[in-house]
A = this chain, B = another copy of it.
Amino acid sequence: MMELSSDQLNQVAHKLQLHGYKLTKQRAMTLEVLVEEDTGYVTAEEIFMKIKRNYSSIGLATVYRTLDLFSELRIVRKFAFNDKSTRFGFRGEESEHSPSHLICKDCGSVEKVNEAWLSELERHVSRELGFQVLDQQLDFIGTYATCHEKKCKRWEERIGG
């Protein structure tokens, strides 16, 4: 559990302004929850509920819109675990690296892995965290050069076949 520093807040405010957006109360509160929760990942619903305690008039749609915006501006990471609803996590400076997660098939919890390890990672995970790895998944998110130049053939390809 970590607190939102005024430094972090300013940075985000700045980023928003750069792109023509404002740092509203709702956005600040969303950010706060995300930073506090930075060991795990939160769903939109969870954020909504937490904010509601201090600011009961907030709307769920606003939270969704804020999270979309934050994703766009890379303030937040968006994850689709096999766990029904999408989860979001704050992107600290450091965490440009690949985060790894333990996703428990039984309880559905999502825990970040200590970082730095990698090829021996699985062994670590099993020994030190008591987590039996059944499966793993490594994804790269990015863009094909061709897509970026709007010469993207794949749109069509996807449907056909």
* A interface residue numbers (CB < 8 A to B): 37, 77-83, 86, 98-109, 113, 118-119, 122, 125, 129-148, 152, 154-155, 157-158, 161
Taking a contact as CB atoms under 8 Å apart, the answer to whether A107 and B147 are in contact is yes
Q: Given the known inter-chain contacts A148-B106, A158-B108, please indicate yes or no for A135 contacting B80, CB distance below 8 A.
A: no
A134: nearest chain-B partner, CB-CB: B142
| Chain A contact surface mostly | mixed
Partner of A147, one of B106, B144, B158: B106
Nearest Cβ distance between residue A128 and chain B, in whole angstroms? 12
A145, B133: Cβ atoms closer than 8 Å:
no
In the bound complex, how far is the Cα of B135 from the Cα of A132, in angstroms?
A: 26
Contacts of A143 in B (CB 8 A): 104-106, 131-132, 134
The one of B119, B140, B154 that contacts A100, using a Cβ cutoff of 8 Å: B140
Measured between alpha carbons, how far is A152 from B108 in the docked complex, in Å? 11
Q: Known: A77-B135, A82-B80, A148-B132. Contact between A140 and B103, CB under 8 A?
A: yes
Closest to A152 in B: B107
Which 10 residue pairs across A and B have the least CB separation, nearest first?
A: A106-B147, A80-B80, A135-B141, A130-B145, A109-B154, A98-B136, A107-B154, A100-B138, A133-B142, A134-B142
